[in-house]
A and B are shown apart, each in its own frame.
Chain A
């Protein structure tokens, strides 16, 4: 990874001079990362300015971070409801629109309708789960984004934004907790 000089000019990252600086440090394992995060929080960096990237999911509380509110369950519920209604429409309404009598059964019977409604509800549930999670993650996103390939080799990348005046302090904290590859994050095409 390229190491950028610690100058204050941010023409590479495109932000106007003097507003904020992005830094990233790689850690070998989770405990040190959590301690580093605690130290940074104590130093006054807001939690929203920090992002942790890892190749392995760490449980939420392990790194001392808060859980984010997700719209996903509501998307799924809405999807399931729409699937339910569509199934109802297909099995209960359309046989009356295209009326044909078969086998001594009424046009709409409970068992076939129940099966169709159930299957369409489940189909809509899973499709809306998938599309909902993609939407919430803003996927697919192929443009340049701050990242480092070593993340998938077991390192945790702590990325944060701070004002340029605090950059030195932040670097110190990161080094104190054995981070390596400290520097401006490379915006890789993903």
Chain B
């Protein structure tokens, strides 16, 4: 992909073109890719389903034979499953950031992106939610974590961070799904009006009888406003709670107060980068070039860069204190990372996290899809490695040297991790064919609010500041 996005003049032309389009043309432009399911699409779905099926088999194998088929041992009790769990929760943060925060800030460039971002959140959370089940030694008793009166007179322990995980992730999943759905209703009405057959029946059911009266719009706006405000504390708390899975223990390197903001910022960094990756791919695959333009990637790239700078700050703040304190076990852990067995992973992490920050400072990179894709993929490689080092690397050392251990992965763990990655892509692909990918009503709403205005020699789009 050596395509570069257009220059400033051509961008202006793009926007004028979109401004000149009729509503019905926009509808068709968004609905057409949904109907097209060619060989490539089915090939992709088949491949992903195969990986997911293999992963499900591996999970069944795990349940039948026991956790021993993974590479876990004493003291490394948590490995790839918890790593990937934290990774997926991290990915899920971007959707809400874009949707809720930018909606509150009235940033117009969020409009085509919000649905793809919210879908990313919802599916990432679904994948993340599998892991607390997968990593259980006795998964068939998982329901004991649910507080219900029972004849055993037993109750779950609300002091445990895993219980906080359970409620917080459920809340966030419910919240993001409802948020996704609420903003989807007018577009379901649009799709209902332009399709027939099975799709018509589906969209009709999902549209709930939406007609677009003023009362309905008013209530929808109010509800979205409340949602946007409410979901921000939720998403901040979810990753903090996940970080406290580690920070509340006295395990060296885990027992750190900086974990909560460090993880949240890392999640924003990783999630926004994943969003950019996905948008580049979807833009190409569904031919949404008219809707996802260079200005969107430009702004998104800038936010990823800023998030990366934040991450670097928090990483350094944590690292400095550990390095300076010279506590023996932590010193050993740092030595492992800097010059020991973990060094390749550590340098991979730092390179893959820091290089994109520099790259994304250049407008050229931000607005070239291939370069943006590469940079943001690198970010997620780095962030996954970071989680690896935090979870597995730290557990290999502890206060009593006789208890130091090591870890080797197995096919079961890798298969199940691959299952969630394939599952996420599969859900996303199917989603893009069932639901209009760009929020059409929001784009039209945006069009209503901006016009071309002449300032001196320039003809610029200006957005109106109305509710």
Residue positions of A touching B, CB distance < 8 A: 30, 51-60, 63, 65, 67-68, 70, 72-73, 76, 90-91, 94-95, 97-98, 100, 102-103, 105, 109, 112-113, 115-116, 118-120, 122-123, 125-127, 129-130, 132-134, 136-137, 139-143, 145, 147, 149, 151-154, 157, 190
Is B209 at the interface (CB under 8 A from chain A)?
A: yes
Q: How far is the CA of A153 from the CA of B30 in the complex (A)?
A: 13
Identify A73's interface contact among B23, B178, B226, CB under 8 A. B226
Give CA–CA (A56, B441) in the complex, Å: 6
Answer whether A141 and B208 are a contact pair too, CB < 8 Å, given A123-B167, A126-B178, A126-B227: yes
Cα distance A103–B39 when bound, in Å?
59
Most chain B CB within 10 A, of A60, A65, A102, A152, is at A152
User: In angstroms, how far is the closest chain A Cβ from the Cβ of B5?
Assistant: 27
B219: chain A residues within 8 A (beta carbon): 70, 72, 133, 136-137
* Residue in chain B with minimal CB distance to A53: B212
A94 vs B146: C-alpha distance in the bound complex, in angstroms? 13
Please name the residue on chain A nearest to B448 by beta carbon.
Answer: A56
In the bound complex, CA of A144 to CA of B331 (Å)? 72
A-chain residues with CB within 8 Å of residue B168 when the two chains form the complex: 115, 119
A118 to B167, CA, bound (A): 10
| Extra inter-chain contacts (20) besides given A142-B209, A152-B193, CB under 8 Å | A58-B448, A68-B215, A70-B222, A91-B158, A94-B158, A103-B159, A119-B164, A120-B171, A125-B226, A125-B230, A126-B227, A133-B182, A133-B220, A149-B193, A151-B211, A153-B27, A153-B193, A154-B23, A154-B24, A190-B204
Interface contact A130-B223, CB-CB below 8 Å: yes
Is B211 in contact with A53, judged by CB distance below 8 angstroms?
A: yes
Which of A91, A95, A190 touches B210 (beta carbons < 8 Å)? A190
CB distance from B234 to the nearest CB of A (A): 5
B contact patch SS: helix
Are A116 and B214 closer than 8 Å at their CB atoms?
no
From B23, B174, B190, B208, A123 is in contact (CB under 8 Å) with: B174
Query: In the assembled complex, which residues on chain B have CB atoms less than 8 Å from the CB atom of A122?
Result: 171, 175, 230, 233-234, 237
Within 8 Å by CB of B167, from A102, A103, A116, A126, lies: A116
| B41 contacts A by Cβ under 8 Å | no
Complex partner residue of B155 from A52, A59, A98, A141, CB under 8 angstroms:
A98
Residues in A whose Cβ lies below 8 Å from that of B210: 139, 190
Task: Using CB atoms, name the residue of chain A closest to B218.
Answer: A68
A129 touches B223 (CB 8 A): yes
B399: shortest Cβ distance to chain A, in Å? 18
Asked if A76 and B226 make an inter-chain contact with CB atoms under 8 angstroms apart, the answer reads yes
Docked pose: A154 CA to B231 CA in angstroms = 31
What is the distance, in angstroms, from A40's C-beta to the closest C-beta of chain B?
15
Return chain A residues, CB-CB under 8 Å to B241.
115, 119
Interface size on B, residues (CB 8 A): 61
Q: For residue A134, which residue of chain B has the nearest CB?
A: B208
- Known contacts A51-B213, A116-B167, A120-B167; decide if A190 and B24 are in contact (CB<8 Å): no
B208 to chain A, nearest CB (A): 4
Contact of A154 among B22, B192, B194, B205 (CB under 8 A): B22
A139 to B194, CA, bound (A): 21
Q: Which residues of B contact A51 (CB under 8 A)?
A: 213-214
Q: Which 9 pairs, one residue from A and one from B, show the smallest C-beta to C-beta distance?
A: A154-B23, A98-B155, A141-B209, A133-B223, A140-B208, A153-B24, A123-B171, A139-B208, A152-B190
Question: In the complex, what's the smallest C-beta–C-beta distance from A146 to chain B, in angstroms?
Answer: 8
Q: Which of B173-212 contact A (CB under 8 A)?
A: 174-175, 178-179, 182, 186, 189-190, 192-194, 204-205, 207-212
Determine which of B159, B163, B204, B213 lies in contact with A105 in the assembled complex, contact meaning CB atoms within 8 Å. B159
A105 — which chain B residues lie within 8 A by C-beta? Answer: 159
Q: Known contacts being A72-B219, A122-B171, is A102 close to B157, with CB within 8 Å?
A: yes
